[in-house]
Homo-oligomer: A and B are copies of this chain.
């Protein structure tokens, strides 16, 4: 029975198999039902009889592209089947309405970066009916434009650092000694002199003296530099998590996915991993998180001046509408890049 077995590792299928596989995948995406041979045969692109389709499906199943929930049922795609489908998708174009929607949105957004990203996640989620993720990468080599130490009261100071990418980070200090206004102001001056122009990666020469000013300065610098390892400087905005509820059927699956989404660090690392591997779509188990094995994740990097400035992502069921979703994600990521990168040459508008 295994005669003429094609190379199982071959990345391409014979054209007819490919057509059949694609028909099965797209119909399953539409209907969420197992797909039978006859409906495939009646599809426009397939010009053979159900019987032929059946024998091809047997072979596709043997090769791992399709699965059968039970004997006498149609086929559903496996993750590998979806993978083939996605790899051979001609990249779609966004519908005119949605294109307009994105343009309108970016023409009208105002406010701080965080607000824009937050709203972007909502936009993307509304456009696609999937859960959207927007990650704003912290630029680890943005330089410090200003570092100011503000005296809240004798035991509370706040270090406010402004970076060249417009981000602001604050750190509380709770020294064990009383700090008066003058001490704080002097520390602030020294911090400014010390830190301006440096990045979080720069080693700076902190004063080794034992007076209060020096202690404040050391405290401030160390808590600022402690920012580095946690990686959680990255901003994450998740929009449309309610769509999780209608993307999956099992309550348990919904719970697990929501639980993952709650852990923003996980989400960021998932997105970063995918970008690092150059993946734009992770299907089922490809994403590496067992609780997300029923999900597909799409990411599109946001690139400004050749620098990775963040990413947008979409999370849906493995039977998601890849073409539309990918088009939406890529359109939004481009608009986002243009929004934050493009207006350096232009005036605001």
Contacts and interface: CB of A to CB of B under 8 A. Distances in A.
A245 B246 CA distance: 11
Nearest to A152: B166
B152 A158 contact: no
A163 to B, nearest CB: 9
Nearest to A111: B172
A136 interface: no
Number of identical protomers: 2
A150 B161 CA distance: 10
B145 A148 contact: no
Given A168-B168, A176-B347, A245-B245, A160 B160 contact: yes
Interface in A220-241: 239-241
A344 B153 contact: yes
A348 interface: yes
Contact of A158 (B166, B344, B348): B166
Contacts of A152: 145, 164, 166
A255 B262 contact: no
Q: Secondary structure at chain A's binding surface: helix, strand, loop or mixed? A: mixed
Interface in A283-325: none
A80 interface: no
Interface string A124-165: 000000000000000000000110101111011010101010
A97 interface: no
A52 B148 CA distance: 74
A88 interface: no
A168 B162 contact: no
Contacts of A170: 112, 168
Interface of A: 111-113, 122, 145-146, 148, 150-153, 155-156, 158, 160, 162, 164, 166, 168, 170-172, 174, 176, 239-246, 249, 251, 254-256, 258-259, 261-262, 344, 347-348
